[in-house]
Amino acid sequence: MIKNNGLANIGLGLILVTAFALAGIAAYQSIIGLADLFAARAEVVIIMAIAIEFAKLLFAGALHMFWHSLPAWKWIAVGIIGVHMAVTNIGIWSYLSSGYTLQEAPVAAVERQIESLDGRVVSYATLEEEALTGLTAMDTAYQQLVVKRFVTRAERYEEENAAKRAGLEAQRDAARAEMRKLDAERDILEEQVVANAAKLGSIEHLSAFTDGDREDILQIVALFTLLLMLGLDPAAIMMVILFTSLLSKKIGAQDNNPLDDMDDEKKDVVKHLDEIGYLDNRKKKK
């Protein structure tokens, strides 16, 4: 018999509130996740998901409370609860996994921009190298003419190639200017990478266990998501079953103890009759 009904009622109330809190959080994530999966029919999916959440909890509580008095079709209801949980967890998975993807997307986008800049830097470095090679070749040819004391030919060679030299110098200077500009842009993008990576929080620290491999990090994120799923919807179902179990015991204890409805004087009389064996004799006569 439950001696402290007030404390028992508070405990039952806390269990029920916790169950609905877990179910509410799971429902919120599931509804948004399912709506994202079926965005073209989001309003219908939202209504359906809300109905599924309520039906699942009522099914679980009612089946547990009246299990022994229900016919064989109760196993069909158990299967339906399993389907409802699967639908809910699919929505939760969609919601939570998209959360990490949305956080990671800006970092990935900026990294792609950095890769593009690096490719452009390489192309400008190639242009600079070509210009320097041409200028070096011209300087070498000029010096060879001077060494051979062909001063007139050297001067004529320099005059004839003045335009070409100017073009190569312009190419070299332009390539260097573009590379400086790209380096400045790259520094800005690197700062964005750091800022966006900071938003990922502790997820970035997973690289210490995965050698920085993105696929491994995604696997760990998926594992965390699965653990969160198990802590929401299945936990809510178990809390509802626990509530109905304790409620059934409480109701049974009250029904099996008529003394609870008697005042102290009547309880003393019944206790005295029990002690002298009067009640046992009455039972035997019946």
pLDDT tens figures, 218-253: 666 677 777 777 777 788 888 888 888 877 777 665
Report which of residues 26 and 217 the model is more confident about.
Answer: 26
Question: Where do we find the tokens 């309880």?
Answer: 267
CA distances (Å), origin 223, targets 85, 216, 250, 258, 265: 18, 11, 39, 53, 63
Residue among 47, 39, 44, 56 nearest 232 (CA): 56
Does the global pTM surpass 0.75? no
Burial 94-107 (b: 16+ CB within 10 A, else e): bbbeeebeeebebb
pLDDT of residue 13: 81
Hey, how many other C-beta atoms are within 10 angstroms of the C-beta on 285?
A: 6
Q: Which amino acid is at 106?
A: P
pLDDT of residue 76: 86
Report which of residues 203 and 283 the model is more confident about.
Answer: 203
Q: How far apart are CA 170 and CA 173, in angstroms?
A: 5
Mean pLDDT of all residues in the chain?
Answer: 76
Q: Which helix (H) or strand (E) holds 37?
A: helix 5-37
pLDDT of residue 213: 56
pLDDT of residue 198: 58
Say whether pLDDT at 282 is over 70: no
Say whether pLDDT at 277 is over 70: no
Q: How far apart are CA 122 and CA 34, in angstroms?
A: 46
CA distances (Å), origin 269, targets 63, 253, 256, 262, 284: 41, 21, 19, 10, 20
pLDDT tens figures, 80-113: 888 888 888 888 888 877 766 666 666 667 778 8
Say whether pLDDT at 10 is over 70: yes
Q: What percent of the chain has a predicted confidence (pLDDT) above 70?
A: 71
pLDDT tens figures, 121-133: 888 888 889 888 8
Two tokens, residue 191 = 């700062």
pLDDT tens figures, 164-198: 888 888 988 998 898 888 888 888 887 777 666 65
Q: What is the mean pLDDT of residues 59-80?
A: 82
Q: Which amino acid is at 272?
A: H
Confidence of residue 256 (pLDDT cuts 50, 70, 90): low
